[in-house]
Structure 1
Amino acid sequence: MEDVLEVSQRPFDPTRPVICMDEQPIHLHDEVREPIPAHPGRPEKYDSEYKRNGVVNGFMFTEPLGQWRRVTVTETRTKKDWAYQVQHLPEVDYPDAEKVLLVCDNLNTHVPGAFYETFPPTIAHALLSRLEFHPTPKHGSWLNIAEIELSALTRQCLKRRISTIEALRAETSAWNRKRNQAQKGVDWQFTTEDARVRLKRLYPVILEN
C-alpha cells in the first residue's frame, strides 16, 4: 500500500511517467423493440426487455498528472491481451521515456511472464527493462487511480444499451478524445501519513519490551 501511495505522490516527470491501469468487463445489450424517439415534451421510451450480446473487456490506462488516458476494448481478457496493451506504453505512448511506472492490481494475467508467453524472449526482455511495476495490495484496488477513470467512463458513456463491439469502440473512443481534450486529471490527496493514521488497524502492532 505504501509503495503505491509513494508513487502516486511523485511530481510530474515526463522521463518516468506514472501510469495507472485497470480493466473491467462490459456487457453488450441490444434492443428487442425499437425505442420511440424523444419529442418536445416527451422523453424517449424504450422497452425494459433487452437482448444479451455477450461480454467484452475494457482496458483503461491513465496518467493522472499528464491528464491523459487511453481506453481499448478487446474481445477477451487474457495474458496476451494485457501484454499487447502494456507494450503500447513504451513503444507508442511514451517512446522517449526512460522507464514507465505502471500501477495495476495483481490479477493472474498481470504478470511479467505474460510478455514471454506473447513475444520472443528478446522483445519481452526489452519491454520489461522499460517497465517498473507497482501492484496494488489485495483488497486495495481503490488505491489505483484508473478506477476513478473507469467510474467516469461508466457514468458518462456506458449507462445505456450498446449492442456491438464496433459501436462500443466508437463510443469509448469518442469519450476518450473528449476527456483528453478537456484536460481532466486527478489530484490524489491520500498520503502515506494519512494511511498510517486512518488505516492504523492494518499495521502490525510492535510491543516494546
Structure 2
Amino acid sequence: MIPPEHNAEFVACMEDVLEVYRRPYDPQRPVICLDEQPTQLIGETRTPIPLQPGQAQRYDYEYERIGTANNFMIVEPLAGWRKVSVRATKTALDLANELKELLDVDYPKAEKVVLVWDNLNTHAPASLYKAFPPQEARRLLDRLEIHYTPKHGSWLDIAEIELSVFTKQCLDRRIDNIDTLRSEAKAWEDRRNASGAVVDWQFTTDNARIKLKRLYPQLNEE
C-alpha cells in the first residue's frame, strides 16, 4: 500500500532505508532485515489419498484449524543468508529473544547490527526492556542500529520478499503442528542458504524521486 501524495514522513523513512541498502558489505556492520508472519496450523479431517502413478496426492476440501504459529524471518541480503525461527506466539518477549539470539549467536563478533524492520508495535527498543534486566537490554541495544520502514511501506523490508518465497515454497501444503513446521522451515532455510540465493534489490533513492514523485511534498521555490 502506497500512502496519499505529499507525505514527508513516508519519504523520509523510505529514503533512510534505501540509503542503508546502498551500503557496501561490511561484516562488522551487517545489514539485517527482519519481518514476521502468522501461520495457520491446519489438520486433515479425512486421510489423504496417497500419491499414485500419474496422480498427485489428493486432499479433502474440508480441514481442521488447530492453532497458529509465528514465523520470524531474518535476512542478511548481501550475504545471501536467512533464518526462519518458528514460535508459538508473537509477543514482545518473543521478539526480544530473537534479537538476543541474532546478536549473541548469529553475529557475536559484529560491532553493530544494522537492523531494518517495519513499525509493528513490538518492533521497538521497549521490547528488550520487557524481556531483560535494564543492563542486558541496554547492552543489546548498544549493538543495534535501527531503521524503520515507513508506515504502509513494509514492501521496503527485504525480509518481506523472503517471506513470500518461504510461503510459496514451504507453506504450500497443510501443516498441523508446530514441530513439523519448524522442521520444514529449517529444511527450506538450509536449502536456500546452500543455493546462495540473494535478493537483487535495485530500487534506489533516485528511482524513488522519479517513480514516486507524487509522495514528495511540493515546495514553493522563489
- The share of aligned pairs that are identical, in percent, is 59
Q: How much does 1:95 deviate?
A: 0.7
Superposed CA offset, 1:98-126 (max 9, x none): 10000000111011011111101111000
3-state secondary structure, aligned to 1:167: helix
- Which segments of 5 or more consecutive residues in structure 2 lack a partner in the other structure? 1-13
3-state secondary structure, aligned to 1:147: helix
Match of 2:130 in 1: 117
3-state secondary structure, aligned to 1:71: strand
Aligned partners of 1:58 and 1:72 also within 8 Å: yes
Match of 1:182 in 2: 195
Q: Does 1:13 align with 2:26?
A: yes
User: What's the TM-score once normalised by structure 1's chain length?
Assistant: 0.98
- Which segments of 5 or more consecutive residues in structure 1 lack a partner in the other structure? none
Which stretches of structure 1, 4 residues or more, deviate above 3 A after TM superposition? none
Between 1 and 2, higher relative CO (CA 8 Å, sep ≥ 6) is seen in 2
Match of 2:217 in 1: 204
Aligned length: 209
- Which of 156, 174, 182 is the matching residue for 1:143? 156
For the aligned residue pairs, the C-alpha RMSD in angstroms reads 0.7
3-state secondary structure, aligned to 1:65: helix
Q: How much does 1:42 deviate?
A: 2.0
Superposed CA offset, 1:166-201 (max 9, x none): 110010011011111111111210000000000011
The within-5 A match list for 1:31-110 is 31-110=44-123
User: What's the TM-score once normalised by structure 2's chain length?
Assistant: 0.93
- Which of 181, 188, 201 is the matching residue for 1:168? 181
